Amino acid sequence: MTFSKHFVRGLALSALTVGLAGSVSAQNGTNFHVMSNGADVIYGSIGAGGSSIGGADGIGHWMDGNSLRGNQITLLGDYGYRQQGWLTSQCVLGPPIVGLAIKFPLITIIEFDGTNANDQDVFTRLGCAPGSGGALAGVTTAGFLPYGAPAGTSASFLLSGLPSGLGLPSSTTILIPNGGLVPSSNGGTATIIAAAQVAEGLPIASTGFCWIVSFGWLPSALVSADNIDGWWEWLTSSPDNNQYWNMSNDELNVFSSNTVATAAGVTGAFNFFGTLEYEFYSKTVDPSMNEVLAPVGFQGTGPYYTSPTIGGVNAGGDMGQHGGVSLGSAGGASNPVTGLPAQDLGLSGALSSFGWASWNNDTRLTPIPGSFRTVWAQADFDQFAGLPPTAGTTVIVDPSTGMRLGSDIPAVGVWPQGFTLPFLTPLTHSGVTTVGGETDPVGFPAGTFGIPAIWDATGQFPVGPISGTNCLGSPLALQGSSIGFFPGLFFDFLPNSNPVSMTSEIMILD
């Protein structure tokens, strides 16, 4: 197959920091978009060993377009997600062929567009089967959740070379999702928006350790178009065949894993359980929004599982991609280690609860005294109806900059919705001042690098248990964006004090 647009958006990759596991390096002055709840395991063939071929196989990670919605105007002249950088996680355990280093033969980020992000082709939103107590429809006997494929084909993933002009070997083969690409009549597009090599590698002192590498974009952020289907990040494994990808095996996903790896020279792909993900964190320019769920993963090692900041019924929770909230804690992907659904209450004894956490680290901001942040939350009935994200009406909150509310007026249903305004006060959180006593997502205490962590979380609200009687067949989506707020229902939409965050969207199941 071929890519529809052959260009990179004028950015260079900058390797910022490298650190050892246990003292992994990251910056607290960052708006973290947390895509996993921390590394737990490595596997043979996932990056190295087994049938993995160094320099040929790799790992891909999907970021859903509904979670890549930015609400400020970007340099593309439209709204979009602005990524300052991201963190990779790997373990170097064997001797090198040439040079002792962490190596990245290929780093590629591909933007998928042209189809309906509310009706994904590959990373589908499976419905619960009525009368099943919340079990997902279509689960195989082995407990795997199937990936989807576009109409007219059975191919969920495709193999592709790279277009010329990137400065990278066009003979390189990578795995990509079939997001409406084949057959071409489905209208999907795949645009390489960033590509780089760190072929010589980042020098390390010895093997036998796991590392976090923090990358940043120069001269500015990597931006998305608006209402895209998603981003696909592809990393080719080290040619030394000694660099394993660090994985989390206790994610609270209720749908399929967003991670796919290859083996045997990109001739085989691993079909992961929904609770297995590559350890991944994005870093955004705009204030971030992260869902916080309980119960927590069975490993019990997430940095926010117990938290003085995350208040409410459990005083802590889990961050990650999740894919959805199982209200009854009985639906969704099963974990092969426990045999229980990912969000089963038996894993931790916690109550089933839900809330948000937001980072707002921008030293250029001057918060107005007395201001806070809260969450504009609403149900995305357009998502439930399968309408495209463009069906709604954009709400401009700052005409001078074009900054918009993080949720549109949906084409389906009333607006504002009945629970939105009453929940503004209960969902109030600081987000404008330093909150101490917390770590960043990879474990460093706030202020470790001399940059205070400006973040806070809403309280956790109980959402269950419900015994499966709420199964609607298709999942309902809940949108949320963090906005400036003064108690008494006065909003602060000034871009220099309390800009609107990126949008969070999560499915509500059973």
Phi-psi domain of 38 (left: phi exceeds 0; alpha: psi -120 through 50; beta: other): left
Q: State residue 313's pLDDT score.
A: 84
Alpha carbons 189 and 282: distance in angstroms, whole number: 23
Enumerate residues 6+ apart whose C-beta is below 8 A from 199.
Answer: 103, 104, 105
Q: Are strands 324-326 and 503-509 parallel, antiparallel or unpaired?
A: parallel
Q: State residue 134's pLDDT score.
A: 62
Alpha carbons 140 and 137: distance in angstroms, whole number: 9
Q: Are strands 230-236 and 189-203 parallel, antiparallel or unpaired?
A: unpaired
pTM of the model: 0.92
Q: What is the largest CA-CA distance in the chain?
A: 64
Q: State residue 464's pLDDT score.
A: 66
Question: Which DSSP helix (H) or strand (E) runs through 385?
Answer: helix 381-385
Alpha carbons 130 and 485: distance in angstroms, whole number: 40
381-406 exposure pattern, b = at least 16 Cβ within 10 A, e = fewer = bbbbeebebebbeeeebbeeebbbbb
Amino acid at 418: G
DSSP conformation class of 135: P
Rg (CA), the chain: 21
Enumerate residues 6+ apart whose C-beta is below 8 A from 184.
Answer: none
**What string of pLDDT tens digits covers the 510 residues of the chain?**
223 222 333 334 443 333 333 223 333 368 999 999 999 999 999 999 999 999 999 999 999 999 999 999 999 999 999 999 999 999 999 888 778 899 999 999 999 999 999 999 999 987 776 666 666 766 666 667 889 999 999 999 999 998 877 777 777 899 999 999 999 999 999 999 998 888 788 999 889 999 999 888 887 899 999 999 999 999 999 999 999 999 999 999 988 899 999 999 999 888 899 999 999 999 999 999 999 998 888 888 888 998 888 888 888 899 999 988 888 777 778 888 888 888 888 777 778 889 999 999 887 788 888 899 999 999 999 998 889 999 999 999 999 999 999 999 999 989 999 999 999 999 999 888 777 668 888 887 776 766 667 889 998 888 865 444 456 667 789 999 999 999 887 899 988 999 999 999 998 887
Alpha carbons 356 and 386: distance in angstroms, whole number: 25
Joined together, the tokens standing for residue 408 give: 């549109």
The per-residue DSSP string of 289-329 comes to -EEEEES--TT---TTSS-SSS-BSSS--B-S--SEEETTS
Partner residues linked to 243 by β-bridges: 92
Q: Are 507 and 323 in contact (CB under 8 A)?
A: yes
CA distances from 33 to 28, 72, 245, 438 (A): 12, 17, 20, 16
Joined together, the tokens standing for residue 72 give: 């400020």
Q: Are 26 and 440 in contact (CB under 8 A)?
A: yes
Length of the chain: 510
